[in-house]
C-alpha cells in the first residue's frame, strides 16, 4: 500500500507478505521512508489489518520489523534474536509459515476477523479506511484529499466511482502504450526476412497425402500449430494434451482468417482416425494433419508446442515467423493470428512495407456465414 502527498510524491509504503509467497519479499529499496513512532505505526497497522480482516488469503502474520531488508527465519533468529525477544523491530510483517521457525515475544498473530494486530495498539473508529485517511491527513495536512490513498484502494470499501475512474485513467495510459508496442512489434514481424523451405514435407490429411503447399488450401498464407496428440502424451487416446486442447478451444471462427487469404491448420503425429474422433468429440473445426517426416524437428516443435507462419509464391514456400512457449497463450483470435503473419491484418493504418495488400479497416469484416465462396487470392 502506498500513500502519496498532494504533489503525487510517495509518502509511505507498507508491505503485506501473504502466507504463500515465501522468503525474500521486500519493499522497493528506492522508496523514501518516513520515521513513525511506535504509536503511529500501530495506528496505521491497525487500520490496515482491519481492512485485511475483510478478506481471505491472509492466514496469519506477525508485526514488529522493517520489511525493507530480508525475510529469512534463520538470519532473523541468528542476527536479530535480542530485538525479536524484546518485540523491538517495528514494521515486520511475516507470513504464518515463515514465523513458525522464528522465536518471538510480544507479537500478536493476525487472522481473518482479528483486529489486535499491532503491539502498542491504539483504538480506532469502526471505518478502517476512513481511519487510514485521517492518519494521512494528519501527517500531510488537512489539504490532502482522500484520493491520495492509492495502490490499492480496497474494492467496495469507501471507494467512490470518481476514485475508481481516476485509477483506471492512470492505468489506461499503460494500456494504450502496450497496444502501440504490440502494433510496433507486428510491424517488425512484417519486415522479417523470409526463409525458403527447401524440403518437400508431406502430411496425412482427411483426403490422403498432402504436401506442405497443399496445407495452404489455395490461400497465400499458412499458420501451423503443432499440437501434441499422439501415443505417450497425457490424455491419449481420448484427448490431446490439455494445454494444446485449450489452444484449440480458443481458436476463433476460421472464416475471418480465410477472408484475409490465410489458412490455419493444426498438425500432430496421431493417425487421422484418432484426430477425426477427437475433433468430433471436442467440436473443433480447424483442418488437422498428421506429421509423417521431420517437419516438427525442422521447425522447432518436436518437443514443445509452437506456431509457425508461412507464405507462398506459387509453389515456393517460405517460413516467415515462429511463436512458442508462453507466446502461444496470446493466440486464438483472428487479430493475434494475423499479427504474426508476413502480411499482417492488411489494413491501411498498419505500418507495412511498400506494396503490401491493404484495404480500409472495418470494410472487409463480415458475419462468418456471409463471406461467400469467393475464390481465394492466388500467389
C-alpha cell at 331: 493466440
Question: Where residue 138 falls among pLDDT bands split at 50, 70, 90?
Answer: low
Q: Residue 240 and residue 122: Cα distance in Å, rounded? A: 59
Query: Domains (ranges, CATH) in the chain?
Result: 2-173 (no CATH), 191-339 (3.40.30.10)
Give the H or E element holding residue 135. helix 128-140
Res 164: pLDDT:
82
The residue to which cell 524440403 is assigned: 199
Res 42: pLDDT:
54
pLDDT tens-place string over residues 160-176:
788 888 888 988 999 99
Determine the average pLDDT of the residues in 265-275. Answer: 98
Q: Give 108's contacts (C-beta < 8 A, 6+ positions apart).
A: 62, 63, 116, 117, 118, 119
Q: Residue 216 and residue 379: Cα distance in Å, rounded? A: 11
Question: Where residue 324 falls among pLDDT bands split at 50, 70, 90?
Answer: very high
pLDDT tens-place string over residues 12-46:
444 443 333 333 333 344 444 455 555 555 556 55
**pLDDT exceeds cutoff 80 at 84:** no
pLDDT tens-place string over residues 180-217:
999 999 999 999 999 999 999 999 999 999 999 999 99
Res 191: pLDDT:
97
* Cα torsion through 113, 114, 115, 117, rounded to 10: -140
Res 372: pLDDT:
79
Give the H or E element holding residue 222. strand 221-226
Q: What are phi and psi of 190, to 5 degrees?
A: -70, -10
Q: What is the pTM of this model?
A: 0.60
Res 170: pLDDT:
87
Which of 84-98, 161-175, 223-237 has the weakest average pLDDT?
84-98
Beta strands in 5-132 (DSSP E): 10-13, 61-63, 93-95
Neighbour-count burial of 142, counting CB atoms closer than 10 A to its CB (0-12 exposed, 13-18 middle, 19+ buried): exposed
pLDDT tens-place string over residues 240-268:
999 999 999 999 999 999 999 999 999 99
Q: Residue 95 and residue 75: Cα distance in Å, rounded? A: 16
Per DSSP, what are the bridge partners of residue 267?
Answer: 226, 289
**pLDDT exceeds cutoff 70 at 327:** yes
Res 7: pLDDT:
61
Which of 79-88, 173-182, 304-313 has the weakest average pLDDT?
79-88
No. of helices (H) and no. of strands (E), the chain: 11, 13
Percentage above 70 pLDDT, the chain: 56
Res 211: pLDDT:
98
- Greater confidence (100 vs 176) lies with 176
Res 367: pLDDT:
94
Per DSSP, what are the bridge partners of residue 306?
Answer: 226, 324
- Greater confidence (199 vs 134) lies with 199
- Greater confidence (330 vs 142) lies with 330
Among 308, 307, 304, smallest CA distance to 195 is for 308
Q: 52-55, long-range: CB within 8 Å, 24+ apart, which pairs?
A: 52/16, 52/110, 53/110, 53/112, 53/113, 53/114, 53/115, 54/154, 54/157, 55/112
Average pLDDT of the residues of the chain: 74
Q: Residue 262 and residue 257: Cα distance in Å, rounded? A: 5
C-alpha cell at 251: 481458436
Q: Residue 58 and residue 112: Cα distance in Å, rounded? A: 7
Percentage above 90 pLDDT, the chain: 52
Amino acid at each position: 500500500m502506498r500513500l502519496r502527498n498532494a504533489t503525487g510524491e510517495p509518502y509511505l509504503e507498507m508491505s503485506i507478505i501473504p502466507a504463500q509467497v515465501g522468503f525474500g519479499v521486500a519493499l522497493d529499496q528506492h522508496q523514501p521512508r518516513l520515521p513513525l513512532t511506535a504509536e503511529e505505526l500501530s495506528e496505521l497497522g491497525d487500520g490496515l489489518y482491519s481492512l485485511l480482516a475483510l478478506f481471505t488469503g491472509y492466514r496469519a502474520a506477525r508485526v514488529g520489523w522493517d520489511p525493507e531488508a530480508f525475510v529469512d527465519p534463520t538470519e532473523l533468529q541468528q542476527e536479530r534474536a535480542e530485538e525479536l525477544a524484546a518485540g523491538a523491530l517495528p514494521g515486520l510483517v511475516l507470513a504464518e509459515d515463515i514465523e513458525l521457525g522464528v522465536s518471538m515475544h510480544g507479537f500478536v498473530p493476525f487472522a481473518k476477523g482479528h483486529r489486535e494486530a499491532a503491539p502498542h495498539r491504539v483504538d480506532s473508529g469502526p471505518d478502517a479506511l476512513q481511519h487510514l485517511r485521517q492518519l494521512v491527513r494528519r501527517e500531510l495536512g488537512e489539504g490532502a484529499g482522500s484520493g491520495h490513498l492509492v495502490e490499492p484502494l480496497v474494492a467496495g470499501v469507501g471507494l467512490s466511482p470518481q476514485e475508481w475512474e481516476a485509477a483506471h485513467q492512470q492505468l489506461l495510459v499503460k494500456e494504450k502504450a502496450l497496444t502501440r508496442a504490440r502494433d510496433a512489434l507486428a510491424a517488425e514481424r512484417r519486415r522479417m526476412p523470409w526463409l525458403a523451405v527447401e524440403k518437400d514435407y508431406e502430411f496425412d490429411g482427411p483426403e490422403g497425402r498432402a504436401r506442405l503447399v497443399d496445407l495452404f488450401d489455395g490461400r497465400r498464407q499458412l499458420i501451423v500449430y503443432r499440437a501434441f496428440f499422439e501415443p505417450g502424451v497425457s490424455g491419449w487416446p481420448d484427448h490431446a494434451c490439455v494445454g494444446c486442447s485449450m489452444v484449440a478451444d480458443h481458436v476463433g471462427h476460421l472464416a475471418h482468417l480465410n477472408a484475409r487469404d490465410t489458412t490455419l491448420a493444426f498438425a500432430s503425429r496421431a493417425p487421422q482416425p484418432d484426430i477425426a474422433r477427437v475433433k468430433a468429440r471436442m467440436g473443433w473445426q480447424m483442418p488437422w494433419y498428421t506429421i509423417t517426416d521431420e517437419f516438427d524437428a525442422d521447425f522447432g516443435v518436436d518437443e514443445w508446442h509452437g506456431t509457425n507462419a508461412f507464405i507462398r509464391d506459387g509453389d515456393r514456400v517460405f517460413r516467415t515467423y515462429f511463436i512458442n512457449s508462453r507466446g502461444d497463450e496470446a493466440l486464438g483470435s483472428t487479430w493475434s493470428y494475423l499479427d504474426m503473419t508476413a502480411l499482417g491484418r492488411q489494413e491501411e493504418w498498419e505500418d507495412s512495407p511498400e506494396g503490401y495488400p491493404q484495404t480500409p479497416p472495418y470494410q472487409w469484416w463480415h458475419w462468418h456465414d456471409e463471406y461467400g465462396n469467393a475464390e481465394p487470392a492466388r500467389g
